[in-house]
Amino acid sequence: PETELLLYENRLRAAIAQDALDIVFQPQVDLRTGLIVGAESQLRWRDSDLGAVPVEKAIAAAESAGLVNEVTLWLVNGALRNCRHFRDAAGLDLRVGVKLSAKSLRQSDLPDFVSSALKTWNLRPSRLVLEITETAILARSLESVETLQQLRAVGVRLCLDDAGAGYDALSWLVTLPFHELKIDLAAVGNVAEVPQKLALVRSLIDLAHELKLEVVVAGVEDEATRAILKQLRCDLAQGPAIGAPLAAAAFIKQHRSD
């Protein structure tokens, strides 16, 4: 309902102003070496009145309040700040991923912001992975495609993360300057038990590798699936079988390189 949305919008404005949003980090492992090489940042919003707000509701409030840009910039900066902290506090030289709707690419100053945030935290650009979702918009928005190309020029990694993109869309999207393809098993289904699902994931991995893209598979629930993905030459994996999303301090405690 509209009144509820309005409440969420106002609380979100306050949360951004008071720096009261949080980020949790889900580890990504390199299946070839078994080492943790990255973490995907995920927004968490715990409000004193509303409690833990589901991320979908937070994004909906951000969109309707015209706060998507603020949340995006806050998230990118927070991810990079923690990336630096992981390195200094725990010797973890990781890449951090941030999910962005392709709509955010309409923000023409995004490449400049990203560039200066990388300088602020003194990080190599390739430490940041921008995971682009809702990519259908790229077919209609030349400015978004230009922003994508400028981000590539800055040196950040670009990951195509769109479970909804069909095969046709995929063949077009890979002509854009992406470095990686992300496959979410939550959208695909159980590759360990359904041969058709396995065939689909295999063909996606092969296609991506042929196009010189790295493959990240999310939603890896168990060891059997992890083993299958390793056989299929998937590059990186994340999900419950790899590690739960954790706040920065807990992430360091769990994964610090001793």
d(C-alpha 108, C-alpha 88), whole Å: 32
Other beta carbons within 10 Å of 256: 12
pLDDT tens digit sequence for 129-150: 999 999 999 999 999 999 999 9
d(C-alpha 137, C-alpha 181), whole Å: 17
pTM: 0.94
Q: Who's near 216: CB < 8 A, 6+ residues apart? A: 28, 159, 180, 181, 182, 183, 234, 235, 236, 237, 238
- Report H helices in 91-154: 110-120, 142-154
Segments of the chain assigned E as strands: 22-30, 36-47, 51-53, 95-101, 128-133, 157-160, 180-184, 214-218, 236-237, 246-247
The predicted structure's pLDDT at residue 257: 67
pLDDT tens digit sequence for 79-94: 999 999 999 999 999 9
Amino acid at 92: L
